[in-house]
Amino acid sequence: MKKHALVNLDYKHQGWASLSVACLRLPDGKLIYREIEDHGSAVAVLPYDAQRKTVVLVEQFRPAPFISDGQEKTLEAVAGILDEADCAAAARREAMEEAGLQLGKLEYVATTWTMPGISTEKLTLYLAPYAATDRVAAGGGLDAEDENIRVVEMSAADFAALMAAGDLVDMKTLALAQALQLRHPEIYA
């Protein structure tokens, strides 16, 4: 059985993300060309407090939704690029940087391709229990990254209402909301 083969990878741009055009040989011998975006892999975590029935999200400006739809801010799970090999360590780092939360236990949900048609990004998703005492810093992201993040703690009931209304516009956040609903339905009660 013949397999797919990479014939050539022509880099067009290398910055925070690299953009390239791949020439690929299909099993039948035909050549195809596809654009590829690569910025590395990432992690996302949804902190939840089962006792107080709350979740922590972050709100921030994202250029792509702004350019596409004029959307000023997105409400998302804590997330970031994987700078180290340990996904759990990266999730804890991002929770501290973005939300000021010192997380302990992480509940692995999945590792998924975010946009397999164009991007090499794999996203590892976690749920994480937290308590009010775990908020040890302001969060808000790193000044050097110009993130201007606002930390949003909301009731799980309000979060569920956003999900039910189709108002969670970020896919990772929607996936984590559904994972929380499946694994810990009592938080929404």
Q: Give binding residues as ranges.
A: 79, 94, 98, 147
CA distance 112 to 8: 26
Q: Show binding-site residues for Mg(2+).
A: 79, 94, 98, 147
Question: CA-CA-CA-CA torsion for 41, 125, 166, 180, nearest 10 degrees?
Answer: 180
- Token readout for 107 is 């509940």
Fill in the amino acid letter for 5: A
Residue 133 C-alpha from the chain's centroid = 25
């209402």: which residue's tokens? 161
Half-sphere exposure of 135 (CA within 13 A, CB side): 15
Pairing of strands 42-49, 54-60: antiparallel
Measured in residues, the chain has a length of 189
Sign of CA dihedral 178, 113, 15, 90: positive
